[in-house]
Amino acid sequence: MTIAVTAATGQLGSLVIDSLLTKVPAAEVVAVVRDAAKAQPIADRGVEVRVASYDDPIALKQALSGVDKLLLISGNEMGQRTQQHANVIDAAVDQGVSLLAYTSAPAADTSTLPVAPEHVATEEYLAKTDLDVVLLRNGWYHENYAPSIDAARHTGTVLTTAGDGKVASASRADFAEAAAVVLTTDQPLKPVYELGGDVAWSQADLAATLSDLIDAPVAVADVTPEEQATILTEAGVPAMWVDFTVATDASIKKGELEVTGGDLSALIGRPTTPLADTLRAAL
């Protein structure tokens, strides 16, 4: 059995490799990366490293030779990912990969999250293949809120337009472990996993968590989208990220990141890691 992981040098991919190596011998794992030098620590653990950019269909075919199961970790070059993911999928079909797991977004097919359209396009592309597909619709990472620690220190607030919307975030390591379980289990798999942390937290909960961590008062500054955009712009945040943040908060307000259902804890066989633990580790 050969299990390949793309983007293995990324933050999630590295953790997937860590988790896989607790479950199967290194000889069964292939790391597909675009930068061999960055992958040296993975190679040092006995994992075969194959170099292929998502933009290189020929290299991707070579990289997936003999692979039985593949984790396609979505890329981070927004706007280019639909074609990049299609290149990986084409290579997987060409090389006779049996199972392909893909890291998507919560309820991607109905979500208004700004990242959803490229995930939907990839999900639709996968549906047209005869691959055995597992969609790992990962919720928000706890780690996305690490910058909120400094922001809370400097402003004493959590700036948001999300209102009462809740976020069931989870640690990257928990999402990675779930992926490793999917890639190694003999148990039947669901076609779609909606993955989120056990606890859905509000902005007030986040403020309380940050307050505990920095030992100072933190309040929620619930503003309008226009006010949020102005404050972020004046703080020097690039326009693309201002738009992304405003759109994401709108999605949170609608409850689109309140992933419930327990798929993540069921896959990893334990409760998910609390937000406070991940943020404390980030301090």
Residues lying near ligand NAP in the complex (CB under 6 A) are found at 7, 9-13, 34-35, 38, 53-55, 73-77, 84, 103, 138, 140-141, 144
Task: Using the structure block, give the residue that is written with the tokens 């933190």.
Answer: 218
CB of 7 to ligand NAP, least distance (A): 4
- Is 21 or 156 the residue whose CB approaches ligand NAP more closely? 21
In 3D space, the residue among 74, 94, 64, 66 whose CA is nearest the CA of residue 11 turns out to be 74
CB of 197 to ligand NAP, least distance (A): 11
CB of 73 to ligand NAP, least distance (A): 5
- Is 111 or 138 the residue whose CB approaches ligand NAP more closely? 138
The residue number whose beta carbon is nearest to ligand NAP equals 10
- Is 13 or 197 the residue whose CB approaches ligand NAP more closely? 13
CB of 173 to ligand NAP, least distance (A): 11
- Is 16 or 210 the residue whose CB approaches ligand NAP more closely? 16
- Is 35 or 227 the residue whose CB approaches ligand NAP more closely? 35
CB of 76 to ligand NAP, least distance (A): 4
- Is 79 or 188 the residue whose CB approaches ligand NAP more closely? 79
Which structure tokens are listed for 228?
Answer: 């949020």
Task: Using the structure block, give the residue that is written with the tokens 């997936």.
Answer: 64
- Is 12 or 182 the residue whose CB approaches ligand NAP more closely? 12
CB of 168 to ligand NAP, least distance (A): 11
Q: How far apart are CA 10 and CA 77, in angstroms?
A: 13
CB of 217 to ligand NAP, least distance (A): 27
Which structure tokens are listed for 33?
Answer: 């990366």
Q: How far apart are CA 49 and CA 30, in angstroms?
A: 6
Distances (CA, A) of 213 to 20, 218, 267, 280: 32, 10, 29, 7
What are the phi and psi torsion angles at 137 (to 5°)?
-85, 85
Query: CB-based burial of residue 116 (10 Å sphere; 0-12 exposed, 13-18 middle, 19+ buried)?
Result: buried
Break the chain down into helix, strand, coil percent, rounded to 5: 45, 15, 40
CB of 88 to ligand NAP, least distance (A): 9
- Residue 15 contacts residue 173 (beta carbons within 8 Å): yes
76-100 in b/e burial notation, b at 16+ Cβ within 10 A?
eeeeebbebbbbbbbbbbebebebb
What are the phi and psi torsion angles at 270 (to 5°)?
-165, 165
- Is 35 or 132 the residue whose CB approaches ligand NAP more closely? 35
